[in-house]
Amino acid sequence: MATRCINYIRNIKTKTGYIYIIRNNSITTPNLIRESSNLKEFKTENKITYLEDPNTFGTLSRTLINNDKMTDEGDIQEDNFQTYHPLPSQKMTTKQYADLIKQHLKYKQVKEAIDVLEIRMLKEDKVQPENYIYNILIGACADVGYTKKAFKLYNDMKRRALKPTGDTYTCLFEACMKSPWKENGLKLATHLRNLMIEKGIEPNLTNYNVMIKTFGRCGDLQTAFKLIDEMISKKIKIRVHTFNHLLHACISDEQSGLRHALIVWRKMLNAREKPNLYSFNLMLKCVKDCKLGTNENINELIGVIRELSVLSNNNILHVDSKSKLISNQELLPSSTDCNKKKLPNDNVEKYESEQQLIDTSLTTHVNTNLIRKDDDNQMNLNVIEPKKMQTVQKRLVPNLLSRTLQLENVYGLKNVVKVQDRFALVGGQDDFLKEMEAYLVKPDIKTFTQMIMVIDDTAEAEDKLLSTINSLGLRTDISFYNMLIKKRCLRLDYDSANAVKNLIKEYRKNCKKHPWNKKYQIKENLITYGVLAMACPSKEDGEKLLNEMKEKKLKVNIEILSTLLKHGTTRIQFGYILYIMNIVIEEKLRVNDIFLKRLEDFNEKCSKLSNQKKESVLHKAYSSFSKRYKDWLKEINIEEGLKSEHPWQQFQESHPKPVQKENIEIKEPKRTYKRNRKYVHYVPKL
């Protein structure tokens, strides 16, 4: 204790009116006085000057400097995120971020669009996103079937306390509908619907429509029809758009989807809803892809159609009786006028009873204006001639889509097997178009594109369809010609399939009035050459097709080569097959299961034939082919080819830009700055 006091006294030096205090450890050193001269001075109100900060006691409590450098990348990123603060000028508005995302989505760059939110907005600019940004990205993921990411964005949206809107749930149900796996999509859709019920979220009409379509596409037709009953219980009027979504749901059932679609159609007519263009196009797709079901389902269908037709006829009679009463009230003058004015004797003889007057009012238009003559007690009724109604020819083929059915003509539905027979049930080519005309619906090119696959397999039927398109003045597109080529290839009419290219050239010549308008341009795409590959039975035809693709700067894919390989394997053309195998190596294409299976089946087939005839030409050709086939299998790396690529992998990894997208530029939105303008009081000049 004594030594500490002595050391404390030694450290005190008195000067004129001031006290200097030197902080140090209990052990003094000879360099203490030198260090004290460099210390900072702090003055107080009592004019006492202290060396260094008086609130710091001792040197043991000084701050330690940590010289350890962070090596972990995650720690470095976290430290940079906490220390980095962007400038206000770097941030953009919600609309500008949305425009940037829409530019990426325009060129189908889904991953880059998601990175705008997850990297630029949240990490770089540190901007709080709104639900509008999330709705755009959830809808983009739904369009490509990226279901997992859509629900991940939805959960992130809820964590940020953003309220989901009706569009959010619509996009989520669409993501479930377009999922690569129907079972997973149905599970998520059921969970989402139960979640809406638990939270008390009332679906709107758009939500109900997309829910009906989703459950139908995922294979749960029963839930889709239950949603219609739920809408009726909530007094939501079912319009034609809801019936169209129900027709979408019926298409998913391949065995008895046409039966469900016809019942939905009768329900729509019974509800007095007018079918539109989408209704007829969906019915054509249902005729093409679905069947009527078993014999019991067909008999049940006839009974349901008869019941619904009787109900619709009763509704028509009920409406007609109302119109008669209305016409009676319009035609007959009031009771006060009848006491003063009477009809002429000639008119009374013509219309003796009130019922005759009502009946004639249905076929003639009577002017209710009463024209007075000089005599006030007499007046005349001007009767206008009846308008000529458009006569409709009587249908020879039964049409189950028409409002008035001739059920006595419906026989033999059990014999409906082919697509053409199913198309005949809805009127065939002529009556189907007449039914559209009866509802004042003009067909578009999509109607005729789907109609190609359901008409008769004859050139006359196709020529009739083309003449109908020309008479209606419709513009064709490349999808129509692709289906026409496929139709002719399926009936092995390869010459007429190749002749479709001449039709495309003629259409281009006729559209030279607007050469720069993209609406009138038609160019062959990969699908065109994919269906033309079905018309290449020989090696020369295949070489010609591939050379034409090189001239058009289109890269061949494994699907086109697989179609060409099918011709070579069925006709046992070793030169054709070896030519296709060499192209696979030259183009560095990844083979698929179908391509390898066709080659393997061909190899086994030829090995059996060569063993039976060892001295034949086939044996020599197969021996050279088998050697090349073994070397080819080593070159293509079969293990990577047989690996199934995940459907969502393309949205998780960045890929190099193809040649077609090299000229694409994503432009930054223009930044708008507010100018600080001062208010200047207006002073008039004198």
Amino acid at 393: Q
- C-alpha span between 580 and 530 (Å, rounded): 15
- C-alpha span between 359 and 344 (Å, rounded): 20
Amino acid at 677: R
Mean pLDDT is lowest, of 105-109, 255-259, 580-584, 667-671, for 667-671
The CB-side HSE value for 624 (13 A sphere, CA atoms) comes to 8
Q: Return the closest-CA partner of residue 451 out of 487, 502, 416, 477.
A: 487
pLDDT digits (tens, 9 = 90+) for 359-405: 433 343 334 343 344 444 444 445 444 444 444 455 555 678 888 77
289 SS3 class = helix
Higher pLDDT, 59 or 346: 59
Is the CB of residue 389 less than 8 Å from the CB of residue 291? no
Q: What is the mean pLDDT of residues 624-637?
A: 88
- C-alpha span between 598 and 566 (Å, rounded): 7
Put simply, whether the predicted model's pTM sits higher than 0.85 gets the answer no
Q: Could you tell me which residues come within 8 angstroms of residue 163 by beta carbon, excluding any fewer than 6 positions away?
A: 131
pLDDT digits (tens, 9 = 90+) for 233-251: 999 999 999 999 999 999 9
Amino acid at 414: K
Mean pLDDT is lowest, of 204-208, 591-595, 670-674, for 670-674
- Per-residue confidence band for 293, with pLDDT thresholds at 50, 70 and 90: confident
**Structural tokens at position 172:** 């989520």
How many helices and strands in the chain, by DSSP H and E? Answer: 32, 6
372 SS3 class = strand
Q: Is pLDDT above 70 for 349?
A: no
Per cent of the chain over pLDDT 90 is 43
Is the CB of residue 101 less than 8 Å from the CB of residue 116? yes
Q: Could you tell me which residues come within 8 angstroms of residue 333 by beta carbon, excluding any fewer than 6 positions away?
A: 341, 370
Higher pLDDT, 419 or 294: 419
Is the CB of residue 259 less than 8 Å from the CB of residue 302? no
pLDDT given for residue 56 in this prediction: 61
Is the CB of residue 248 less than 8 Å from the CB of residue 211? no
Is the CB of residue 538 less than 8 Å from the CB of residue 573? yes
Could you tell me the CA-to-CA distances from 476 to 163, 199, 444, 519, 629 in Å, in that order?
45, 49, 9, 10, 44
pLDDT digits (tens, 9 = 90+) for 391-403: 445 555 567 888 8
**Structural tokens at position 461:** 């039927």
Q: Is pLDDT above 70 for 665?
A: yes
